[in-house]
Structure 1
Amino acid sequence: MMVFWAVILVVLFVLLFRWIEGNRTHERDAGNQRAIELLKERLARGEISEEEYERLRRRLED
């Protein structure tokens, strides 16, 4: 019976960890998307060149 509860506890910890990591990934992706949108706006206004836009976009996507 003790082994059963230990397995349940481990499974719950694994699920909790995966859920937390999933949320962090989603937040990071949302932040990167906003940053890329800002880069697009700066490119459209002529504040940065196409080369600089590509360089910064690649850095954000890595």
Structure 2
Amino acid sequence: MMHGYDMGSFFGWGFLQLILIILLITFLFWVFNKSNESKTNSSEDQSIKILNERLARGEITVDEYDRLKRKINS
């Protein structure tokens, strides 16, 4: 007689569910951070492109270009 001490075939399923939930949350954070990172890089790339064009047209000096580029990258 086992007297109720048998865990049966369900032993460990709660732990497995916890691990799966943690993995899902980690994955969602990773996806969210990647999407924000690509948006930030895209806007910085566009800003640098505009800055390069302004320098090429002579609208700004090299000193202004360097100052603005440092500000964009910080």
TM-score normalized by structure 1? Answer: 0.91
Paired-residue identity, %: 29
Give ranges in structure 1 of 5+ residues lacking alignment: none
Higher relative contact order (CA 8 A, sep 6+): 1
Taking only aligned residues, the RMSD between alpha carbons, in angstroms, comes to 0.9
Q: Deviations over 1:6-57 (max 9, x none)?
A: 1101111101101110111111001100000000111111111111111111
Distance 1:43 1:20 in 2: 35
Instruction: Looking at secondary structure, tell me which structure has more helix per residue.
Output: 1
Length, aligned pairs only: 62
> Runs of 4 or more off by more than 2 Å in structure 1?
none
Q: Aligned-pair distance for 1:61?
A: 1.6
